[in-house]
């Protein structure tokens, strides 16, 4: 696993900021943008090239091409060696694709390893069920369908399921993890601004799947601490 | 090869089979061409069934709905998305491809029939029975409604108690048996019954892709069959292998399913690729560029296809090391496809391209596949995959790939229509169907990339995405209309089309085009051979040095 250890080296020395790190939204948006731009360029070039060739070599075009040996009925395919152009093209596309994915690998390592290193991150247990989400705070406080978390601080989620396979996700905050019965999957997020965000179930789980939603309310740090202190009194 | 066989409508020697106009003929036949036609027609019925479900889904998505709004209840919607997926992947795509393969593969390699004609008929009838059972399941309290991936533990009676859900599982089970016996049949035929001089390397590319498809089927469907046996035991006998209270039943199912499910993508796509390769060669008047590399790439994908399944599970309980490994294998499997795409594109160079309907579909299919491939690279980057999981990005991507495959097979059905019926389809209507198809397809699936933040399999979504979903719904109906034009074209042309003769295409090179259209029951008189480097027919019943007649079988 040479690539693997190489990439760990990469993760440790991201001094130049080669690959994106930070909140999950930032990482996703940056990488998505680069992929979109490159993907569009490659797609436009390849498809235009196809169309140009198809037009240029149409049957009735004036281009001379009678020197070509055409396939004949009942022939066996001749053994020719015309693969060098093909292999060069393959090499080019391989370089582009591998470079892109290796580049994102640094961010993957960051996403997978960073939250474990943060002291004092808020950890919330998420239990998915047919059809909702139950959030449990470190002090045992439980909240159904509403998750409150502070802004600009890493929140770690430990996600499981009471019944079938669900998936807890929020497009706004770029959170997503499977909620499987009997297993705990861990993920994290970092919200960069306050407000109320949507989250939903992303795995078909039964008749109520379309309406299996929860709110994520992101509060200022002080507001959150205030709420955190008083949350057990209210109810 | 100059010996064109003279027969009366192709079926003078009926071997006691009733004529094609009688219903009994189709019930008792074991002939590969008859079975091929049965497969094609039956699969088209399932295309209509899966298509109607798709249109219902698209109508439901016209607007974001509150519970009970729209055509479908939440329960009916879940049944629709599930059955649409199952029908299109299992009961339409593969059988459609294998209808063509049944008809064409023996003709391409010089065999009189498949190795086991009765087993072939059995495969077809099991396929039909399984499909009918799936149809019945809708009326047994509702069919299975947990998605085409049948994830555990939602697939257990605790969560899906309907009798129809058990019927759907049994239907899948019978279907897998049909596929497995079919793949054994094709493997034996292609490896053992080729004409002399037709080495593996010399085989036409369509036959190559079918050979590799059946190899994948043999191993992939074994995994599915095993999983379905355990699931049936859970549902009928009350065992608890996939239960949520035991140890990781959910994870077990996911592994078993995707070990089958990823090769299944190539099982579905390969025949289309083979048809596209044949059609590119015929209508560009060029042999494929880098044939040996193209074949090598196909073989590589076949082997690699069994080593990528966990990329469907990047969020499902696997650790970083395994994620890394499967990220690497996933990128690895995209590279042979790059090579095949380049090979097809370079085949255009110095061609004499005829823009017939089959070529338009093959060319269009390649464009769609390229878009599907590029958007697939996004999913190969694990950090992006995390966010795309369960969204319309995945839906749009695999429809570009899978329905891109359908495009290649539609090209194939136009291409071989004259061979199968002896008559030409209407070229103008064919082109109309292509234009409708290509516009409808892109209007249906491209907006889904833009509206990718919609969660899969729900019918509530952000109101800002309404225009994109409405565009997609309109596109869906345009795509459906192109199939209507195609089927009308075929229906009319079967009786009124111009007679095609043995070979209506200028640069066709494979064996099937040297036979009358349609070919006689036993395909040819005499024995086809490539021993002298080109196709010849040896007279029947001559003694060889061993003293044995040169009969097949």
Q: Which residues pair with A199 in a beta bridge?
A: A214
Whether the CB of B274 is below 8 Å from some CB of chain A: the reply is no
CB-based contact, A207 to chain B, within 8 Å? yes
B residues 422-481 closer than 8 Å to A (CB): 453, 455-460
Instruction: Specify whether the CB–CB gap between B183 and B211 falls below 8 A.
Output: no
pLDDT at A3 over 60: no
Tokens 């004499």: give the residue: B352
b/e sequence B26-37, b meaning 16+ C-beta within 10 Å = eeebbbbbbbbb
Tokens of A190: 């970092």
Does any domain span residue B386?
A: yes
Within 305-344 of B, beta carbons closer than 8 Å to A belong to 315-317, 320-321, 323-325, 327-328, 331, 334-335, 338-339, 341-343
Please check whether residue B527 is in contact with residue B538, taking contact to mean a CB–CB distance below 8 angstroms.
yes
Any residues with CB less than 8 A from the CB of B553 and at least 6 apart, and which? B112, B113, B115, B193
The answer to whether B377 contacts chain A (CB < 8 Å) is yes
Interface test with B, best of A108, A166, A201, A214 (most B CBs within 10 A): A108
Closest CA to B179 of B229, B215, B218: B218
Pairwise CA distance, residues B363 & B180, whole Å: 32
Residues of B in contact with A49 (CB under 8 A): 345
**Mean pLDDT value of segment A75-101:** 89
Q: In which residue are the tokens 């090209």 written?
A: B411
Residue B9 within any structural domain of the chain: no
Which pLDDT value is given to residue B542?
A: 55
Tokens of B107: 């003709």
**Among B313, B339, B296, residue whose Cα is nearest residue B256:** B313
d(Cα B116, Cα B181) in Å, to the nearest integer? 10
DSSP sequence for B486-514 = HHHHHHHHHHHSPB--S---TT--SGGGG
Domain CATH for B249: 1.20.210.10
CA–CA dist B499, A131 (Å, integer): 61
**Is residue B392 one of the residues assigned to a domain?**
yes
Instruction: Report d(CA A173, CA B444) in Å as an integer.
Output: 28
**Position with higher pLDDT, B275 vs A66:** B275
B436-494 residue pLDDT tens: 999 999 999 999 999 999 999 999 999 999 999 999 999 999 999 999 999 999 999 99
Lowest mean pLDDT among A157-161, B12-16, B473-477, B504-508: B12-16
pLDDT at B207 > cutoff 90: yes
* pLDDT for the residue B550: 47
Residues of A (2-21) whose Cβ lies below 8 Å from B:
3-4, 7
User: In terms of Cα–Cα distance, which of B443, B448, B418 is closest to B430?
Assistant: B418
**Looking at chain A from residue 102 to 131, which residues have their Cβ under 8 Å from any Cβ of chain B?**
104-105, 107-109, 111-113, 130
Whether the per-residue pLDDT at B402 is higher than 60: the answer is: yes
Which letter, b or e, does each residue of B461-487 get, where b requires 16 or more Cβ atoms within 10 Å of its Cβ? beeebeebbebbbbbbebbbebbebbe
For the beta carbon of residue A154, count every other beta carbon within 10 angstroms.
19
For residue B553, pLDDT beyond 50: no
Give the separation between CA B426 and CA B496, rounded to whole angstroms: 10
* B21 falls within a domain: no
Q: How many angstroms from the chain centroid is the CA of residue B83?
A: 17
Please give the pLDDT value at position B318.
Answer: 84
Is the confidence at residue B24, as pLDDT, over 70?
Answer: yes
Check CB contact under 8 Å for A39 and B374. Answer: yes
- Which residues in chain A are closer than 8 Å to B345, comparing Cβ atoms? 46, 49-50, 53
Q: What is the mean pLDDT of residues B504-533?
A: 92
For B89, residues 6+ apart whose C-beta sits below 8 A from its C-beta are: B148, B264, B268, B402
For chain A, the average pLDDT equals: 88
A231 contacts A217 by C-beta, under 8 angstroms: no
- Write down how long chain A is: 235
User: What is the number of CB-based contacts under 8 A between chain A and chain B?
Assistant: 279
Q: Tell me what pLDDT residue B2 has.
A: 38
How do residues B362-382 score in pLDDT, each as one tens digit?
999 999 999 999 999 999 999
Which residues 141-200 of chain B have a CB within 8 Å of chain A? 145-147, 151-154, 159, 197-198
- Quick check: B381 and A101 CB within 8 A? yes
Interchain CB distance below 8 Å, B335 and A31: no
pLDDT reported for residue A5: 44
Which residues are CB-neighbours of B192 under 8 A, at least 6 positions away? B115
Q: Is B263 helix (H, G, I), strand (E, B) or coil?
A: helix
At residue B4 the predicted structure's pLDDT band, cuts being 50, 70 and 90, is very low
| Closest Cα in chain A to B247 | A182
Q: Mind listing the pLDDT tens digit for each residue in B241-297?
A: 888 666 678 889 999 999 999 999 999 999 999 999 999 999 999 999 999 999 999
pLDDT confidence of residue B6: 41
Give backbone dihedrals phi and psi of A128, rounded to 5 degrees, phi first: -90, 145
Q: In the sheet that A122-129 helps form, which strands lie side by side, from edge to edge?
A: A142-144, A132-136, A122-129, A155-161, A185-189
Residues 6+ positions from B86 with CB-CB distance below 8 Å:
B134, B144, B148, B168, B172
- A6 pLDDT above the threshold of 80: no
Q: What local confidence, expressed as pLDDT, does residue A64 receive?
A: 62
Q: The domain at A120-234 falls in which architecture?
A: Sandwich (2.60)
Look at residues A123, A197, A125 and name the one whose alpha carbon lies nearest to residue A156.
Answer: A123
Q: Which of A72, A111, A202 sits opposite B455 (nearest CB)?
A: A202
Q: How far is the alpha carbon of A147 from chain B, nearest alpha carbon, in Å? A: 20
Cα–Cα dist B255/A232, whole Å: 42
Residue of B nearest to A69 (CA): B286
Contact B387 A77 (CB under 8 A): no
Of B250, B292, B370, the CB nearest to A47: B370
At A12, list the tokens: 């440790």
pLDDT at B541: 62
Q: Is B378–A32 a contact, with Cβ atoms under 8 angstroms apart?
A: yes
Question: Cβ atoms within 10 A of the Cβ of B505, count?
Answer: 20
User: How far does B54 lie from chain A, in Å, by closest CA?
Assistant: 17
| Inter-chain touch B159–A82, beta carbons under 8 Å | no
The pLDDT value given to residue B436: 98
Please answer yes or no on whether A86 and B342 come within 8 Å at the CB atom. Answer: yes
Q: Provide the terminal-to-terminal Cα distance of chain A, rounded to the nearest Å.
A: 54
pLDDT at A147 over 70: yes
Confirm or reject contact between B292 and chain A (CB < 8 A).
Answer: yes
Q: Which long-range contacts (CB under 8 A, 24 or more apart) does B48-53 make?
A: B49/B87, B49/B91, B49/B135, B50/B83, B50/B84, B50/B87, B50/B88, B50/B91, B50/B92, B51/B480, B51/B483, B53/B80, B53/B83, B53/B84, B53/B87
Of the candidates B140, B72, B151, the residue with the CA atom closest to the CA atom of residue B460: B72
| pLDDT tens digit sequence for A166-214 | 999 999 999 999 999 988 999 999 999 999 999 999 999 999 999 999 9
Which of B106-132 are b and which e, b meaning 16 or more Cβ less than 10 Å from the residue's Cβ? Answer: bbbbbbbbbbbbebbbbbbebbbebbe
Could you check whether the bond before residue A131 is cis, i.e. omega within 30 degrees of 0?
yes
What is the pLDDT, as a whole number, of residue B9?
43
Mean pLDDT of chain B, nearest integer: 92
Q: Supply the range of the domain harboring residue B176.
A: 29-538
Q: How near does any CA of chain A get to the CA of B359, in Å? A: 11
CA distance A194 to chain B (A): 20
β-strand A122-129 against A155-161: which pairing, if any? parallel
How many structural domains compose chain B?
Answer: 1
Read off the pLDDT of each residue in B12-30 and give the average, rounded to a whole number.
83
Query: Do B487 and B494 touch, CB atoms closer than 8 A?
Result: no
Query: Residue A45's pLDDT is what?
Result: 97
CA B8 from chain centre, in angstroms, equals 33
* Residue B12 covered by a domain: no
Verify whether the Cβ–Cβ distance B345 to A49 is below 8 Å. Answer: yes
One DSSP character per residue, A67-79 reads TS----TTBPPP-
- pLDDT at residue A52 is higher than 90: yes
- pLDDT category of residue A38 using cuts at 50, 70 and 90: very high
Which chain B residues have a beta carbon less than 8 Å from that of A41? none
Surface-to-core class of residue B163, CB atoms within 10 Å of its CB (0-12 exposed, 13-18 middle, 19+ buried): middle
Please state the rounded mean pLDDT for residues A149-164.
93
- Whether the per-residue pLDDT at B535 is higher than 70: the answer is yes
- For chain A, the domains span 2-60+88-113, 120-234
Residue pLDDT, tens place only, B145-173: 999 999 989 999 999 999 999 999 999 99
Mean pLDDT of A109-138: 88
Please, are residues B357 and A62 in contact by the beta-carbon 8 Å criterion? no
Q: A94 and B456: CB-CB below 8 Å?
A: no
Residues of A in contact with B512 (CB under 8 A): none
Main-chain dihedrals φ then ψ at residue A175, nearest 5 degrees: -100, 145
**B356 and B426 Cβ atoms separated by less than 8 Å:** no
């Amino acid at each position: 696993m040479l690539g693997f250890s190489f990439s760990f080296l990469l993760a440790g020395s991201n001094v130049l900021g080669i690959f994106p790190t930070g909140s999950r939204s930032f990482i996703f948006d940056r990488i998505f943008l680069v992929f979109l731009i490159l993907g569009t360029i490659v797609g436009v070039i390849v498809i235009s090239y196809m169309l140009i060739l198809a037009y240029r070599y149409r049957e009735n075009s004036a281009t001379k091409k009678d020197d070509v040996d055409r396939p004949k009925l009942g022939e066996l395919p001749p053994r020719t060696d015309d693969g060098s152009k093909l292999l060069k093209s393959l090499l080019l596309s391989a370089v582009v694709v591998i470079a892109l994915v290796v580049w994102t690998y640094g961010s993957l390592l960051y996403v997978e390893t960073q939250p474990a290193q943060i002291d004092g991150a808020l950890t919330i247990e998420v239990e998915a069920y047919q059809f909702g989400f139950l959030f449990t705070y470190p002090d045992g406080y439980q909240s159904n369908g509403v998750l409150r978390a502070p802004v600009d601080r890493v929140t770690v989620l430990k996600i499981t399921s009471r019944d079938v396979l669900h998936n807890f996700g929020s497009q706004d905050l770029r959170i997503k993890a499977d909620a499987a019965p009997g297993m705990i999957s861990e993920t994290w997020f970092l919200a960069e601004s306050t407000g109320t965000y949507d989250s939903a179930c992303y795995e078909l789980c039964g008749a109520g799947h379309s309406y299996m939603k929860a709110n994520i309310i992101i509060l200022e740090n002080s507001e959150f601490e205030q709420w955190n202190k008083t949350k057990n009194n209210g109810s | 090869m100059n010996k064109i066989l003279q027969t009366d409508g192709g079926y003078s020697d009926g071997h006691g089979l009733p004529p094609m106009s009688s219903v009994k003929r189709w019930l008792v036949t074991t002939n590969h061409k008859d079975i091929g036609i049965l497969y094609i027609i039956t699969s088209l019925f399932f295309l209509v069934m899966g298509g109607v479900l798709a249109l219902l889904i698209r109508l439901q998505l016209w607007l974001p709905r509150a519970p009970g709004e729209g055509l479908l209840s939440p329960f009916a919607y879940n049944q629709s998305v599930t059955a649409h997926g199952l029908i299109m992947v299992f009961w339409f795509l593969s059988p459609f491809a294998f209808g063509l393969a049944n008809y064409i593969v023996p003709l391409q390699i010089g065999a009189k029939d498949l190795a086991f004609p009765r087993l072939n008929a059995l495969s077809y009838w099991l396929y039909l029975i399984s499909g009918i059972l799936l149809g019945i399941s809708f009326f047994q309290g509702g069919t299975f409604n947990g998605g085409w991936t049948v994830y555990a533990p939602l697939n257990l009676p605790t969560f899906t108690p309907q009798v129809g859900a058990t019927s759907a599982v049994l239907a899948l089970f019978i279907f897998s048996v049909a596929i497995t016996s079919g793949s054994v049949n094709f493997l034996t035929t292609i490896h053992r019954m080729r004409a002399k001089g037709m080495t593996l390397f010399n085989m036409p590319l369509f036959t190559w892709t079918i050979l590799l498809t059946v190899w994948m089927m043999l191993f992939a469907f074994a995994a599915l069959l095993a999983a379905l046996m355990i699931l049936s035991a859970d549902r009928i006998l009350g065992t608890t292998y996939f239960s949520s209270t035991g140890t990781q039943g959910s994870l077990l199912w996911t592994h078993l399913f995707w070990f089958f499910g990823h090769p299944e993508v190539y099982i579905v796509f390969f025949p289309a690729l083979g048809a596209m390769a044949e059609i590119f060669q015929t209508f560009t008047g060029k042999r494929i560029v880098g044939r040996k590399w193209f074949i090598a790439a196909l073989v590589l994908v076949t082997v690699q296809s069994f080593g990528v399944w966990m990329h469907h599970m990047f969020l499902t309980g696997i650790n970083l090391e395994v994620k890394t490994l499967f990220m690497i294998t996933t990128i690895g499997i995209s590279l042979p496809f790059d090579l095949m795409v380049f090979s097809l594109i370079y085949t255009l160079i110095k061609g004499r391209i005829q823009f017939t309907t089959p070529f338009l579909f093959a060319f269009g299919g390649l464009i769609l596949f390229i878009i599907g491939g590029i958007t697939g690279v996004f999913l190969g980057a694990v950090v992006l995959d995390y966010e795309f999981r369960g969204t319309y990005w995945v839906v749009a991507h695999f429809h570009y790939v899978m329905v891109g495959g359908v495009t290649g097979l539609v090209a194939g059905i136009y291409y071989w229509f004259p061979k199968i019926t002896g008559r030409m389809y209407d070229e103008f209507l064919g082109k109309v169907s292509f234009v409708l198809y290509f516009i409808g397809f892109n209007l249906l699936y491209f907006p889904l990339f833009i509206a990718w933040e919609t969660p899969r399999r729900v019918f509530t979504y952000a109101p800002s995405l309404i225009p994109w979903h409405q565009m997609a719904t309109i596109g869906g109906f345009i795509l459906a209309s192109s199939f209507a034009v195609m089927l009308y074209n075929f229906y009319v042309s079967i009786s009124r089309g111009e007679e095609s003769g043995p070979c209506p295409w200028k640069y066709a090179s494979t064996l099937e085009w040297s036979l009358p259209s349609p070919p006689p029951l036993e395909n040819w008189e005499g024995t086809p051979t490539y021993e002298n480097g080109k196709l010849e027919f040896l007279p029947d019943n001559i003694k060889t040095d061993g003293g044995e007649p040169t009969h097949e079988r």
